[in-house]
Structure formats: C-alpha cells, structure tokens
Structure 1
C-alpha cells in the first residue's frame, strides 16, 4: 500500500509539473529564472540579493551554461549531477567548483518551488572541503603587539599628513582587535552605533563598496568594547571636522565612508610593512613582498582570544555575528578542540601501561 500510494503521489506530482515544462524546458531557462528571482524578488521570502552578490551569481551561472547539458531540465537525475560535478572539479579549482555546484543546487530547489521539478536531483551531490586546506592563519600575541606599536608610531609620525591619516587608522585597528568586527562593518560604522560601553552593528559595505545590511540577520549584534579603545575611538570622532561628519565614525575626506580597497592599500599594507610582518611570495612568476596577514586576521585573533578566555560557543557565535554555531565551529573548531585538549590532564598511554605493569594488572583490563 505504501508503494502504491507513493507511486500515485509521484505520478500526480509529475502531471502537475508537466504543465510547467512548456515554460521551463532547458537548464538555461531554470538558471535565468533563478537569477531573476534572486535579483528582483528574493528567494524564499527573503530580500533580493545585493548588486555585488548578483554579479557573483551571474559569474557562476556562466560556468553552469558552459557545461553541455544533454537532457531537458525536468529529466535531470542524480547521475547527471555527478557528471556535472566531475566536469567542475576537472576544469575549476575545488573552491570554485563547490560554489558553482551549491548555486546550481539553489537553481534546482527554485524549480521545485516553482513546480517544474518534483524533487532536487542534486540533493545528495556535494563537494566537500579539501582535507589539505589549512586552518585560518592567526597572529600571535607578540605579532599583535607589533601591529599596535606600529599603529601608535604612525599616529605620531613627524610627517603631519601621515600622522593625521593614521589617527583614523589607529582607532580602526584598535576597534577591530577589541570587537572582531569585519572590516566592512567598522569602515561603515555610523556614529549612532558607537554606544556607551560598546558598538552596535547595523550595516556594512558589500563587495561593490555600497552600504547595506550586514551579511546575515545574525550580523546585527552588540559587542562590548574595552574602555581604552572606546576612549581612543571617541577622541578621533570628536576631533574630526570634515563638513557634516554625523554619519560615520571614520569619515573620509568628504565625509563619505572609506572603501575597503582604499583602506587595504593606504592603511593595512603600510601597517604590515611598519610592523615587519611581510613575507616573500611568487606573484605572476616574480618574487615580491606581501603582508603576512589580512585585515580579517584581526577578527580571527579576537575569536581566538574569546576561546582562550573560555567563552561559551553561543557567546563566540553571537560576538562574531555567525548565523549558526556550525559556522563558528567550521572556522574555529580546531582552536576550541586544542583549548579543551590542553585543559585535560592526560598522562598518556605509556604511563597507563607502566602503571598497570607495576600493579601486576592486565593492560586489557585497565
């Protein structure tokens, strides 16, 4: 009876879906519909994605379209998805292939929602992270001290224009270290979000350097900040006299927010050089000096300090603005496991063997 009902329900679903096949015949039709919904409507009742995100989706869509789809959209099955995955892994980096396959999975889910497909043929077809991928690179306390010392020295540089610019960057660096905020969040920090004992995150720059909401709902958060850092940030804010500076804590020359790429070039790279945190790398076949760390490294350092202070996982997740604890564990799980392992007084296997032998006990029974 169960099999009969399942067959009947599946047949009915296919019949309903057939009416939609005239509108969505090819994979291209499904991809374009998915892009349109992401850009103009928003999937699953969410807001439409940002212009920068839709550009990224269009780039992934171009890769989907480059594959030679031999079947109509409604005839795709799991083996077809496996073949597509193999093609992606052969022609693109593992990270890029993973992103494209994930987006194609979203295309198929949208087609299920639209009633074109009865199920998602890519439901169990995934690309896992490589086991060879290194964990995030985190500065040591000594290296962070070098960063702070360099920022302090640049802020009192004998060249007045350099010192003036670095009053702002110095406050940014201190705030980044004391909050774990993303660079796109503190670059667009509005003055009303600088509170008495912390900061509130309500907006951020997107990849096109336009201001919008944070990356996710969890990105809207409150973060407590140390008194010294708040004093430094307020002093810079109060000393700034560039037209109407009521909008941003760190305004640019014309009271606008500073784009991320400009901060990276004029601020971060010079800071890393002053701190002596550069390394040799091969770029386009030539050896060059590049910063060891990125601005996000300060965010990772902040998370590592929360872990060393034995903050619970929920607190770490909320402070970092992660949508769920799984994301926190995915990025910082190795640090949490290491911290827990260091706190366990484990005498080791050899010690147990010798102890058991001394007592005349069988090791198997210990």
Structure 2
C-alpha cells in the first residue's frame, strides 16, 4: 500500500491530507459526524490532532467548543433568576454586562486560558479609572461559577478563573478595607448630638432603632407596628424593603430577608422601646399616614411626606449630622460612617457583652456562623487591647512611687 506524502515528501498519517494551497487537514468520524481540522503547517496540524484526542479522552463535548462566555452567562443568569432575589439578579446582570459582555465575554470558553482571565482582571483594576479590588472580587463571584458550569457541561476540564483572584490580591498586597464600628465615646457623642438636635428629630428614633437592634437598613425601614410586640418586648424581622430599577426608575418592593436566618426575633432594649413609642406618638400627633408597598402598610418609620426612608437618604442625613457636629467640635471630630457601620457597632457591643455565639448569630440574622465569629474575633481583640491599656501604670509602679 502506497503511503501518502506531502509536498515535502513527508509521510502523512491516516486522515491527514494536504490542500493545493499548502495547508494541511485532518478528517475523522466522531459520533457519526465528520470532524475537520485545518492548519498551515504539519507541525501545527499534529498539535491540534493531539488536542482533539486529549479532549476526547477527557470526555469533552466537541459539539460545544464554539460556545462563548456570553452564551454561558445568559444560561447561568436565567437559571439564577429562578432562585435569587430580584436585587441580586439585577446586580449580577449589571456587573456582567458592564465589565464582561463586550470584552472577554465574546471569547469561546474552550479557548479561555488562565492567563486570559488574569490579564482581563488586571486590565479592569489598572489606570486612574480602574475598579477597586473589592469590586473585582464581586465580579469574580459571577465569572467563576459561570466557568464552573462549563466544566459541568463538559466544555472545559479546568476552571481558568480558579485562584486568579487570590493571586491578584496577594500580588497587590490587598488588605480588606474594614469599616470600623464606632467607639463607645463616638457612639455616645453622636447619639447625644442627635437627641439634642431639633433639626434631625425626624430620624432620631430610627437611628436609635438601628443602634439598638443591629438591623440591616432594609429591615429597619420595613418594620411595621404589626411586627412589634410591646407586651413581650419583642421585634419580629420577617421582610425587608429593597429597590429595583425598572424603566430607568428605582422602585421599592418588599422582599424576604437576606437569608433564612434573617427571619428572627430581637428582644427590645428599653431605649429602643422608648424610641418606638415616641415615634408612634409623634406620627399620631402629626397625622402621618403610612404608605402601602406590595400590600404591606402600617410602617413604623414614615417621613412627613408619607414615604418610608431610603438607605441613601439616611446615609446623607447621617453625613450632615456628622458634618455639623464636627464644625462645633474641632478637637473631637466624628468619622463619617454608614448605616451598616451602625449595625457593626451594635454587633461589636453585643460581642463584648456575650460569648454565646449562637445567640449573637440569631440576633444578627447571620446564615453562616463564620460571619459571626469574624465579628466576635475583631470585637474581643479590641477589648483585649483596651483591657491591657487600662492596666498601664497599675501593676508596675514608677520608681518614684516605690
């Protein structure tokens, strides 16, 4: 039997051939379909042949090798739409469309390498307009599971996004920017100023509620009088207010708590009880009428306009209060903080006062005990430092005192 040769008198293997223009081709019947590989050189062709055989050996689906990251993302997001909350879905879609879709999203998943993902991530965080590493981390929590789905669908064998984020963080010397809780002195100064200010009387009770319950802002503004039991001094958290963008406008809607653990009851501190009763009497005196959102009404915290407060509105008012306070207290200024730092402040005080992690987890509504443990570790470590500082000069006396 005569052996087939190319134009350089090299022996061609079974299935290999050479076109008149000098290019090489390999044909093979796989699962009833003819697969054709074309290359400019024989060396390149045989490299592609090996890649084909390797994919077959690894169980890769050859019919899905042209699937792009965008196509997989659409499939992933459509599946998530059935399980995640509307706000989560909107954030996921927004971030993918803004950063990925017109960039690496157009590439075939089968051709994506780890270096491609890393280079893409580095491009996103570089330059004066680059995104922060924390934002990139959130984006990675979308891209990585999409590529994981590609493994499950037999498109690829390894996830090209695996460990890329941790590598970038290590190389950048990234340290998470934790927003600290208020110190007891800062908390006391802030509360004293708010309570004495007629200008900010409208949100005084809401701030006391946030500091005294540790509720997330969406949970706090969603509290109804129906969720408060003054007889048993108990507050029931079973829903939250969130926002979704529709037709270019933000719309309020009622959603379930962040997780199953978010459904909880919180014992009422006396200061919180007084603030709630004060808010109830104030609204009755002013004739404030509660709005209705998705069938929910009788909200505890309502503005003079008959609307519930938004997170941005509360954060803006807190910023104004801090600014006014700092103008009057040049030598003892307060830091600018967010509503979430009020929750963190409550959590820190709670951890300092109790070592019952399960109870703390329940009050804060954490689904994962590790979140509670991290806060507890931070709070108690600060307490250790303060305790040691309080001993300064009390154990070892100065020579003059001996």
TM-score relative to the length of structure 1: 0.71
Quote the Cα distance in structure 2 between the aligned partners of 1:103 and 1:51: 15
- For residue 230 of structure 1, the aligned residue among 273, 280, 288 is 273
Residue of structure 2 in register with 1:247 after alignment: 298
Matches within 5 A, 1:162-241: 162=199, 166=201, 168-195=202-229, 196-208=232-244, 209-240=252-283, 241=287
Contact 1:189/1:249 (<8 A) preserved? yes
* Deviation larger for 177-186 or 121-130: 121-130
Could you say if the C-alpha distance between residues 201 and 107 of structure 1 is closer, same or farther in structure 2, counting changes exceeding 3 Å? same
Query: Is 1:33 aligned to residue 78 of structure 2?
Result: no
Q: How does 1:9-158 map to 2 (within 5 A)?
A: 11=56, 14=59, 17-19=61-63, 21=64, 25-38=67-80, 40-41=81-82, 47-51=83-87, 53-68=89-104, 72-90=108-126, 91-113=130-152, 116-117=155-156, 120-127=159-166, 128=169, 131-154=174-197, 157=198
* Residue 193 (structure 1) shift: 1.5
Preserved contact between residue 109 and residue 150 of structure 2 (Cα < 8 Å): no
Tell me how far 1:217 sits from its aligned partner.
2.1
Q: Does 1:260 align with 2:311?
A: yes
* C-alpha displacement of 1:238: 4.0
Tell me, yes or no, if the aligned pair for 2:181 and 2:345 is still in contact at 8 Å. yes
Contact 1:277 1:293 in 2 (8 A): no
Aligned with 2:164: secondary structure?
A: coil
Partners of 2:105 and 2:302 in 1: how far apart? 50
1:214-254 C-alpha deviation (Å, 9 max, x unpaired) = 22222222222212321320232244232357520112335
Tell me how far 1:102 sits from its aligned partner: 1.9
Residue 146 of structure 1: how far off its partner (Å):
1.6
Q: Report the Cα offset of residue 105 of structure 1.
A: 0.7
**Residue-by-residue CA offset, 1:137-190 (whole Å, 9 max, x unaligned):** 222212211222122212xx3xxxx4xx61x41211111111111222211212
Go from structure 1 to structure 2 and tell me whether the alpha carbon gap of 1:84 and 1:174 turns closer, same or farther (over 3 Å shift): same
Between the two structures, name the one with larger relative contact order (CA 8 Å, sep ≥ 6).
Answer: 1
Is the contact made by 2:314 and 2:339 (CA closer than 8 Å) also made in structure 1? no
Deviations 1:115-151 (A, max 9, x none): 5555534333333485444432222212211222122
Q: Give me the whole-angstrom Cα distance separating, in 1, the residues matched to 2:175 and 2:94.
A: 29
The equivalent residue for 2:359 is 315
Kept after mapping to 1: 8 A contact 2:62/2:155: yes
Shift of the 269–119 alpha-carbon distance from structure 1 to 2, 3 Å rule, reads: same
The answer to whether the 8 A contact 2:95-2:139 is kept is no
The Cα shift of 1:112 comes to: 4.1
Q: Are the equivalent residues in 2 in contact too, given 1:35–1:58 (CA < 8 A)?
A: no
Q: What value does the CA root-mean-square deviation take over the aligned residues? A: 3.6
Deviation of 1:111 (Å): 3.5
- Residue 351 of structure 1 aligns with which residue? none
Cα distance between partner residues in 1 of 2:207 and 2:107: 54
Counterpart CA distance in 2 for 1:337 and 1:144 is 19
Higher helix share: 1
**Which one has the largest radius of gyration?**
2
In the aligned structure 2, how far is the partner of 1:218 from the partner of 1:293? 26
Distance 1:269 1:126 in 2: 33
Which consecutive unaligned segments of at least 5 residues does structure 1 have? 1-7, 42-46, 281-288, 348-366
Structure 2 spans left out of the alignment, 5+ residues: 1-52, 245-251, 292-296, 392-402
